[in-house]
Homo-oligomer: A and B are copies of this chain.
Amino acid sequence: MNISQAARRSGLSAKTIRYYEDIKLIAPAARSDNGYRQYDQAAVKELRFLAHARDVGFDLEESRQLLELSRNPARQSRHARDLVMEKSQKLQERIEQLVAMQKELLAMATRCKGDEGPECAIIENLAAGQESDK
């Protein structure tokens, strides 16, 4: 199949698939006589793997590691688990950070009248700085 069908089946864009080939995340696709890239079921499966890994938050380097594990029949599931736990930890920290931001945004919004006047707790709050160094 051509690249756009592989894209549809994998959930990646054709652009992204070419990009993944460029950066050697996947092996160069076979080519048909006209020079078009050709994908088989196995190739699509790897693309779907990558799409899913990205979806759950792995970056390209981590996705590459996971893909290598999936290709390696002598892998140790411990390695995959380590990657997942580490990502989960980072994600947890990120979530807590966003929740804290969210909390502060709502606190600011609550105290701002949001009318036609210039007085604004949001602006004051952002301007009010924790002075650090003198």
> Which residues does A use to contact B, with CB under 8 Å?
5, 8-11, 45, 48-49, 51-53, 55-57, 66, 69-70, 72-78, 80-82, 84-85, 87-88, 91-92, 94-95, 98-99, 101-102, 104-106, 108-109, 112-123, 125-127, 129, 131-134
B101, A56: Cβ atoms closer than 8 Å = yes
- Closest CB in chain B relative to A36 CB, distance in Å: 18
Residues of B within 8 A of A10 (CB): 129
Question: Which single member of B80, B91, B115 contacts A101 (CB below 8 Å)?
Answer: B91
Residues of B within 8 A of A92 (CB): 102
A99 to B8, CA, bound (A): 26
Question: Which single member of B76, B87, B104 contacts A105 (CB below 8 Å)?
Answer: B87
Interface class of chain A by DSSP: helix
A120 to B66, CA, bound (A): 11
Residues of B within 8 A of A121 (CB): 77
Chain B's closest residue to A129 (CB) is B48
